[in-house]
Structure 1
Amino acid sequence: MRIVPIQEFNLQREVDYGTPEQNISVKEIVGDIKAEGDAALLRYTEKHDRTVLSAQQLRVTEAELTAAYEQVEPSFVQAIATAAANIRAFHMREKRNSWMDLQPDGSILGQIIRPLKRVGVYVPGGKAAYPSSVLMNVIPAQVAGVPEIVMVTPPGTNGKEGIDPYILVAAAEAGVNEIYRVGGAQAIAALAYGTESIPPVDKICGPGNIYVALAKREVYGVVDIDSIAGPSEIVVLADESADPVYVAADLLSQAEHDEMASAILVTPSLAFAEATSVEVQRQLALLPRRDIAGASVDNYGAILVVESIAEGISVVNKLAPEHLEIVVEDPMSYVGSIENAGAIFLGPYSSEPVGDYFAGPNHIIPTNGTARFSSPVDVDDFIKKSSMIYYSKEALLKNGAMIMELARHEGLEGHARAIEVRLEKEGKAGVNNGQ
């Protein structure tokens, strides 16, 4: 893993979202699904997944969910159930309540919070099958009170393999029973516009390949989406007190996700940098996904040597990483200085996979520097808010002139007159009644 002086490293990484050909292909798929419904959905499933289905076969049956439990280890069921409980407990603390505030003049101001009605969750299949992502998308939606949660996931390739049973078990443990065997851009379009077999949703969330990401961007505005996720990232801020074996393992835990994943160590210790670089190469040779992780380390990995931890924190805030590990003496003392990070892991035992799978916070986290202005998926992503205004007669008589002043300043006479007609009538009535 290359050691780079901070002055020579570009802290701004640009990620391209698809080639022109990919964008054109996605627009065509989305347009066809919108126009043709199930017919196009089945056609693209055959074309891209090489699986022939009828409309009646799109939805996963209860029998398939039950059978999935027979194909997974009991230890997995226990682990996924415990993780689900932890995730649910964490997100329960995020719940919001509607509120109303009675003003002295009799007006009532407030905010009404309601869950979205129907949410679609995309779950990748094949080599990128992640049962944990099922929990991370579904559970905060459930805690928010979303009554209808539907999941889509690709069918088996070439018609020979079914949906990954671990995904089905995770869905069942999370309480999802409306599941469709469709994937890719066509699944996103089906969720957005609806087909004869799949009713449309209000929001789509969940990770996927570049075609899924481009389709989500294409349908945004028709529905809400969680984000356009880029490649996974980890930054480790460490000093000489850290263990290079631990740090190297954590860097590789993200590098193995994708050839474009980014793994960066920031340290003021050149000796620690050199030890970690050696350890990364040693562990990389033993990793089953070493080809993927190796490409990530070679192209997007780096060890940045800084003058001090203070400079390291400045670098971290500029990188705004998806995952940040702080492995230094007294890591809690630095939390207040971290302005931009999706998830912060503190100390030598808070390895990033603890958050990915089990601790409770959501692992769907902003990437590509967007932690500067966005947050991990939480309950707020599955609610909507309505402002409530009950304005009293007393309040309108008192403030009406100022409202008209602002409206006329903006050249909106109709706005001003909507207030004026009330003042002319109610104001005189108020005077006559001695109010």
Structure 2
Amino acid sequence: MKIVAAQDFRLDRNVDYGTNEQNESVRQIVSTVRNEGDSAVLRYTAEHDRVVLTPEQLRVTKEEMMAAYDKVDRDFVSHIREAANNIRRFHEKQKRNSWMDFEPDGSLFGQIIRPLDRVGVYVPGGKAAYPSSVLMNVIPAQVAGVKEIVMVTPPATSGGEGINPYILVAAAEAGVSEMYRVGGAQAIAALAYGTESIRKVDKICGPGNIYVALAKREVFGAVDIDSIAGPSEIVVLADETARAEYVAADLLSQAEHDEMASAILVTTSKLLAEEVQAEVEKQLSQLPREKIARASIDCHGSIIVVNSVLEGVEVVNKLAPEHLEVMVQEPMSYVSHIRHAGAIFLGPYSSEPVGDYFAGPNHIIPTNGTARYASPVDVDDFTKKSSLIYYSKEALLANGEAIIGLARHEGLEGHARAIEVRLKREKQS
């Protein structure tokens, strides 16, 4: 990792959302699935996943989900249950209620909050199979009150139809009752437009590869989506009290995600910078995903030396990272200064994987600097709001002329007359 001064650091955020060929391929897949339904889904599954299925085999059975328990470690089941309880408890605190206010003139204004009817959750199942993503997508939707949650995940490649058993167990523990063995852009298109076997949804959530991301962008508008996620990011803000081995390990925990992941240390200590630089090299050589992590560190890893923690905070705010770890003396004293970060981890024991798997907050967090305006997935992502207006006669008589004036100022005579006809009728009675 290179060490630079704050004024010399330049972050390249030109994330490539697919080549022209990838974009065109996704558009073709989405269009074909929209027009041909199941037959297109099955054809693309055979072509891309090398798995031949019948329409009847698309849906995962309850028996298959239950059988997966015999294929996973016993400890995994207890761990996933504990994590699910923590995630549910955290998200329960996010629930909001509808409200209504009565005015003295008899008018009533309010907001009605309702859950979405049907949500689709995409869970990767190929090279990157993440059972934790099942919980992070499904549980907030359940807490919000979504009645129908449908999950899609790729079938096994190379001719099998078995899904990763850890994904199946996580789905069972989360209470998923509708699940399909289909992945890629064809799965996103099926959720967005519906097929003979898969009914359309209102919103699609969950991470995936570039084809999934591009497909989500393609269908946005027909359905809502959570986001188009970029590569994973971590920034560690540290002073001389931080332990180099902790910092290095946490930087590598994100670097191992993929070659485009970003891992950055911002520190007030030149000595810590040098120690972390050496420790990263030491730990890299022992990491199973060394090749991936090394590409990330070499291309997108940096150590930035600043003059003070507050200067470091300003660097953080410019980066607006997905994950921010604050390993400084009295980290709580700096929270009010941190304006832009998806998730903030305070102190030496709040390693980023604590949030990824177990603590309770959601691990689906805005990337690529979008933490400047976006938030982690939460219960609100699975609700919609309706405004409630009951205007009394007294209020219309008092304010009608103002409404008419505003409408005519905008050249909308029909709007003005809709109010005017009522005023004339009420003044005549």
- TM-score, length basis structure 1: 0.98
2:375 is paired with a residue whose SS is coil
CA distance in 2, matches of 1:39, 1:9: 51
Contact 1:12 1:319 survives alignment (8 Å): no
In structure 2, distance between residues paired with 1:382 and 1:249: 34
% identical aligned pairs: 75
Amino acid at match of 1:319: L
SS of equivalent residue, structure 2 residue 389? strand
Give CA-to-partner distance per residue, 1:279-311, whole Å, 9 cap, x none.
000001000000100000000000011121111
1:233 and 2:229 aligned: no
Could you tell me how far 1:244 is from its partner in structure 2? Answer: 0.3
Deviation per residue, 1:220-250 (Å, 9 max, x gap): 0000000000000000000000000000000
Q: Determine the C-alpha separation between the residues in 1 that align with 2:328 and 2:253.
A: 19
* Residue-by-residue CA offset, 1:107-148 (whole Å, 9 max, x unaligned): 111111110000000000122000000000000000000000
Q: CA deviation at 1:16?
A: 1.1
Q: Which residue of 2 aligns with 1:83?
A: 83
Deviation per residue, 1:190-215 (Å, 9 max, x gap): 00000000000000000000000000
Deviation at residue 160 of structure 1 after TM alignment? 2.9
Query: Is residue 2:45 matched to residue 1:45?
Result: yes
Q: In 2, Cα distance between the equivalents of 1:239 and 1:395?
A: 60
What's 1:359 paired with? 359
Q: Distance in 2 between matches of 1:408 and 1:427?
A: 21
Name the SS of the counterpart of 2:303 in structure 1: strand
Give the match's secondary structure for 1:249. helix
Residue by residue over 1:84-116, the C-alpha shift from the partner in whole angstroms, topping out at 9 and shown as x without a partner, is 000000000000111111111001111111100
Partner of 1:213: 213
Unaligned 5+ runs, structure 2: none
Secondary structure of 2:317's aligned partner = helix
Q: Do structure 1's residue 426 and structure 2's residue 426 form an aligned pair?
A: yes
Q: Residues 312-356 of structure 1: CA distance to partner in whole angstroms, max 9, x if unpaired?
A: 111000000000000000000000000000000000000000000
**Partner residue in 2 for 1:115:** 115
Q: Does 1:102 align with 2:91?
A: no
2:12 & 2:401 partners in 1: Cα distance?
51
The alignment of Structure 1 onto Structure 2 pairs a total of residues equal to: 429
What residue number does 2:159 align with? 159
Is 1:21 the counterpart of 2:21? The answer is yes
1:69 matched to which residue of 2?
A: 69
* Structure 2 counterpart SS, 1:159: coil
User: Contact between 1:259 and 1:293, CA under 8 Å: does it hold in 2?
Assistant: yes
The corresponding residue for 1:193 is 193
2:183 is matched by which residue type in structure 1?
G
| Secondary structure of 1:384 counterpart | strand
Which secondary structure state, in structure 1, belongs to the residue aligned with residue 127 of structure 2?
helix
CA contact (8 A) 2:51 2:161 kept: no
Aligned counterpart, 1:299: 299
| Equivalent position SS for 1:304 | strand
Post-superposition shift, 1:381?
0.2
Counterpart of 1:30, as a letter, is V
Question: 2:277 corresponds to which letter in structure 1?
Answer: S
In structure 2, how many angstroms separate the alpha carbons of the residues matched to 1:427 and 1:262?
Answer: 68
Question: Within 1, Cα distance between the matches of 2:211 and 2:134?
Answer: 19
Paired position in structure 2 for 1:350: 350
Gaps of 5+ in 1: 430-435
Aligned positions of 1:236-315 closer than 5 A = 236-315=236-315
Q: 2 CA distance for matches of 1:143 and 1:355?
A: 19
**AA of the residue aligned to 2:170:** A
- Cα displacement string for residues 49-102 of structure 1 (whole angstroms, at most 9, x for unaligned residues): 000000000000111011000111111000000000000000000001111111
Residues 11 and 318, structure 1, Cα contact 8 Å, conserved in 2:
no
Q: Structure 1 stretch 214-223 or stretch 123-132: which is displaced more?
A: 123-132
- Is residue 15–residue 230 contact of structure 2 (8 Å, CA) maintained in 1? yes
| Matched residue, 2:387 | 387
**Cα shift readout 1:245-286 (whole Å, capped 9, x = no counterpart):** 000000000000011000000011111100000000000100
Q: Is the 8 A contact 1:120 1:151 kept in 2?
A: yes
Structure 1 residue matching 2:386: 3-state secondary structure: strand
Counterpart Cα distance in 1 of 2:194 and 2:312: 48
Distance 1:12 1:311 in 2: 21
Give the TM-score normalised by structure 2.
0.99
C-alpha displacement of 1:161: 5.8
Q: By how many angstroms is 1:8 displaced?
A: 2.0
Q: Secondary structure of the equivalent of 2:278?
A: helix
Equivalent residue for 1:433? none
CA distance in 2, matches of 1:24, 1:344: 38
Q: Secondary structure at the match of 1:127?
A: coil
Contact 1:204/1:224 (CA < 8 Å) preserved in 2? yes
Work out whether residues 107 and 390 of structure 2, in 8 Å CA contact, stay in contact via their aligned partners in 1: yes
CA distance in 2, matches of 1:254, 1:311: 24
Q: 1:32 Cα deviation (Å)?
A: 0.3
Q: How far apart in 2 are the matches of 1:109 and 1:210? A: 44
Cα distance in 1 for residues equivalent to 2:343 and 2:295: 25
Detail structure 1 runs of 4+ shifted over 6 Å in the superposition: none
